[in-house]
Chains A and B, each alone.
Chain A
Amino acid sequence: MTKGPLDGVRILDFTWAWAGPYGTLLLAMLGAEVIKVESRRRLDHTRLRSLMAGPTLTSPDHAVVFNDLNIGKLGLALNLSQPKAVEIAKRVARISDVVTQNMRPGVMDRLGLGYDDFKAVKPDIIMLSSSAVGATGPERTYSGYAPTFAALGGHSYISGNPEGHPLPISGAVDLRVGTTSAFAILAALYYRARTGKGQHIDLSSTEAVSALIGHVFMDYSMNSRVQARAGNRDQIMAPHSCYRCLGKYKWVAIAVASEEEWDALRNVVGDSRLADERFADAHSRWQNQEDLDQIIGEWTSSRSQEEVAQALQKVGVAATPVLDGPALSRDAQIHARGILKRVQHPAIGERLTLGPPWSFSRTPARADRPAPLLGQHNQYVLGELLGMSNEEIEKLIAEEVVY
């Protein structure tokens, strides 16, 4: 079997919810061995509920959201309220490269599992701590979830229709934070390979949101401007919107950036009104975009999404169907690229999961193993990696240290 890029890297993972586990999921897809620590006493709450799918009504091992966010990891059940469990965690850290956690700042330190504790047993350990607003500063103990990060980080305010509410951006925010974490960890791994030094990474989820809309901050920095919500409109391009198509709630997104694209669009639509002076150049089109949208909308409304998109793409105009979940499951590009993978899960059964977001020519990333059942790999970690006897492990289970 071909090895993934991070083959041989071991990660001890204390994260839960969405953002933290997604960061280590990316590293697991890249081939790292990720050992996820949970316990019956403190389950990752995606085993119990999610904002999107509601409470899980069967067992924690049946939770599909948990599965989708923890593909390919190993499960170790440790009850960290027990000192013995803390000692075991440190023993695993001693043979690991990276530790990750996203509890409220201070919690891991109180458990005896802070960066200094890990560094004492593994001097070159890399530890990533991810939190709502960072591990320093006056608000460091504050908590949050994806939609509060989007609100605090400035993304909600600029998203939505001008006359409506800001958008409560949610799931994607956590996954952006997770991707940012994976990047920082990889940079620290490279640095360690070159210098032998580990380090601590303090990641603010709210700052991760702000960094991904950086130029909006530049407008404030340069011009003291607070950009407003603009719906589907662009600051320069027009047409730049969603247009109604045949069918219920069917839309097509069309964006035009150049004169060449405009001429191509005009030819396909074939409406003489588009030759008006009102639309003669990019600036006029932007000024008169309500009229422009009206005319284009008349043309699209009697056609299917696919018909409009194909006719315009053929002449080099950016037009795409606006899709939702059900429509995406039939998307031709998704099928042709084979990015949905089948995974066999012992409790859930066969499930389609989204593959890695990169294609490597030499060291492919993978998503072919399910998420772990709670404590599924206790034996491997405690027995094989730490060399404990079966009696020792049985005793730890009886004492609810391994729990």
Chain B
Amino acid sequence: MAETALDGVKVLEYCQMISGPYCGKLLADLGAEVIKVEEPQLGDGARRRGPFLDDVPHPEKSGLFLYLNTNKLGITLNLRTTSGRHIFQRLAEQADILIEDRPPGEMAKLGLDYDSLSAVNPGLIFTSITPYGQTGPYRDYKSYHLNLYHATGLSSFVYVPRQAEPDSPPVVAGGQVGDYDGGLTAAVAALAALWVRLTTGEGQYIDISKFEALLAMERVEICRFANQPDAPPWKGMVGGLVPCQDGHVVVTPAQNHQWQALMKLMGNPAWAQEEDCRDEFARAQHRDEIQQRLEEWMAQHPKEEIYSEGQRVGLPVGPVRTVAEIANWQQARQRGFFAPLDHPQAGRLEYPSAAYKMSETPWRGERAAPLLGEHNEQVYCCRLGYSREELARMAAAGII
């Protein structure tokens, strides 16, 4: 069996829904031992949100939970009990990285904040993920994905012109991508802190604001407006999202040779020889007319043909694909992007794996997400030394 990149790294995750669990998943999928702490009975809120297998709500059959919790160990623990908090502290003593997503101040109320835990484990990397971070006027604001996506301006930054919808509100991107962004950003920080710790042995506190993680993803626009609040809109290059015969394609002839490739694809039409198309400045000036000609041509061709023929002549172009088309795409299949995992209740399903193929340390397709409390015995008995009788007593007392 191949080695994993993060073999031996111990992570304690006390998070729900998307951001924190995605951070934990990224680490678990590369070999870290991630212990996920969930509320007894209820578990992670993602277990109660779909999509569900066969559309039947069931805490072990949520696609959201299953995707975000691969390769983790799952335990239940009630931090509202004194014993629960004591056990959590013992787990944190053994951890390299703690990821938590409680509102600012809540871990302190539990006596489980960075100051308390670093006193017993100075090497601990304590990663907090919250909507706005631990400081600032919005620190206690409640924000879901819809809020954060719109509050960071992300819905206003449309680079490639599309049909104007002047009086309708901006639209959030699909798939709660901004919540994933928060987890990805946190995972980068956690690994950077782990790197320092290799030489210094010291842990530290990391404050992740999802708001800032989203802002970072539109860094170029944020910088542009920070320096020039009244920056004029750029009319844009020819191309972008264009309807075609059976859907949409995105065409990006950003450089001159790519424009030439587009003309070649379209059979070198006579109008392309005119002054209006001379260079990108001229084309930008006459964008509307050129765009119309482009759309007329695209309307007569199917998206997969535009994709393969366009790429053949050197045009950066992509069809707007559905998940079904992607799941059956030869390129993705040959690269093994979709990995089958077996789960005792959800069965065998294909999961997206990771975008990086690491030559020495492959993505770990070992274990599907844990059942609620599945690893209580393994963690509490083998790791912390509780007997099975004690375990039964703690379960009866609502601690685990």
Contact = CB atoms under 8 A, between A and B. Distances in A.
Given A201-B356, A221-B351, A328-B225, A175 B151 contact: no
A151 B250 contact: yes
Contacts of A354: 215-216, 219, 222-223, 226
A203 to B, nearest CB: 5
Interface stretch (A79-87, A357-365, A372-380): A357-365
B290 interface: no
A323 B154 CA distance: 8
Interface in B192-237: 192-196, 198, 202-209, 211-213, 215-227, 229-231, 234-237
A328 B222 contact: yes
A322 interface: yes
Nearest to A204: B355
Contacts of A136: 334-335, 357
A327 B229 CA distance: 8
Contacts of A337: 133, 135-136, 209, 212
A203 B359 CA distance: 11
Contact of A171 (B208, B218, B357): B218
A176 interface: yes
B359 A200 contact: yes
A148 B252 contact: yes
Main secondary structure of the interface of B (DSSP, over half): mixed
Contact of B153 (A68, A142, A328, A357): A328
A133 B186 CA distance: 25
Interface string A214-236: 11111111111111011110111
A44 to B, nearest CB: 12
B153 A327 contact: yes
Interface string B279-300: 0110010000000000000000
B352 A217 contact: yes
A159 B177 CA distance: 10
A357 B53 contact: no
Nearest to B156: A324
A51 interface: yes
B223 A172 contact: no
Interface stretch (A33-41, A160-168, A269-277, A384-392): A160-168
A333 interface: yes
A317 B235 CA distance: 38
B8 A154 contact: no
A313 B51 CA distance: 29
B107 interface: no
Contacts of A164: 163, 165
A26 B159 contact: no
Given A151-B248, A212-B184, A324-B153, A313 B142 contact: yes
Contacts of B194: 190
A206 B209 CA distance: 26
B248 A5 contact: no
Interface in B1-59: 3, 5-9, 26, 30, 49-55
B360 interface: yes
Contacts of B202: 362
A102 B281 CA distance: 27
Interface string B352-371: 11111111110000000000
A214 B356 CA distance: 15
A343 to B, nearest CB: 10
Contacts of B67: 214-215, 217-218
Given A52-B224, A221-B63, A214 B185 contact: no
B158 to A, nearest CB: 7
A222 B63 contact: yes
Given A55-B280, A223-B55, A168 B162 contact: yes
15 contacts: A154-B323, A170-B157, A190-B5, A190-B194, A199-B360, A204-B335, A211-B352, A214-B352, A216-B175, A217-B326, A329-B226, A354-B215, A359-B206, A359-B209, A362-B204
B144 interface: yes
A157 interface: yes
A212 to B, nearest CB: 4
B110 to A, nearest CB: 20
A352 B227 contact: yes
A294 B186 CA distance: 38
A188 interface: yes
A325 B173 contact: no
Interface residues on A, range: 35 or more
Given A165-B243, A184-B358, A323-B151, A222 B323 contact: no
B104 interface: no
B356 A202 contact: yes
B324 A226 contact: yes
Nearest to A337: B136
B386 to A, nearest CB: 31
A132 B209 CA distance: 29
A212 B235 CA distance: 30
A339 interface: yes
B63 A191 contact: no
B349 A218 contact: yes
B180 interface: yes
A325 B225 contact: yes
A103 interface: no
Given A68-B220, A230-B174, A251-B170, A218 B146 contact: no
Contact of B361 (A138, A172, A191, A210): A191
B8 A155 contact: no
A257 to B, nearest CB: 7
Nearest to B168: A161
Contacts of B217: 171-172, 175-176, 179
B158 A336 contact: no
Given A175-B216, A337-B209, 10 more contacts: A55-B281, A65-B224, A68-B219, A135-B357, A155-B175, A188-B361, A202-B359, A222-B52, A325-B222, A359-B133
From A210, A232, A241, A361, residue with most partner B Cβ within 10 Å = A210
B321 interface: yes
Nearest to A208: B355
B231 A325 contact: yes
A330 B388 CA distance: 58
Interface string A41-54: 00001000111111
B324 A221 contact: no
A145 B358 contact: no
A340 interface: yes
Contacts of B352: 207, 210-211, 214, 217
Given A5-B192, A237-B144, A328-B152, A168 B64 contact: no
Contacts of A234: 146
Interface in A312-354: 313, 316-330, 332-334, 336-337, 339-340, 351-354
A320 to B, nearest CB: 4
A186 interface: yes
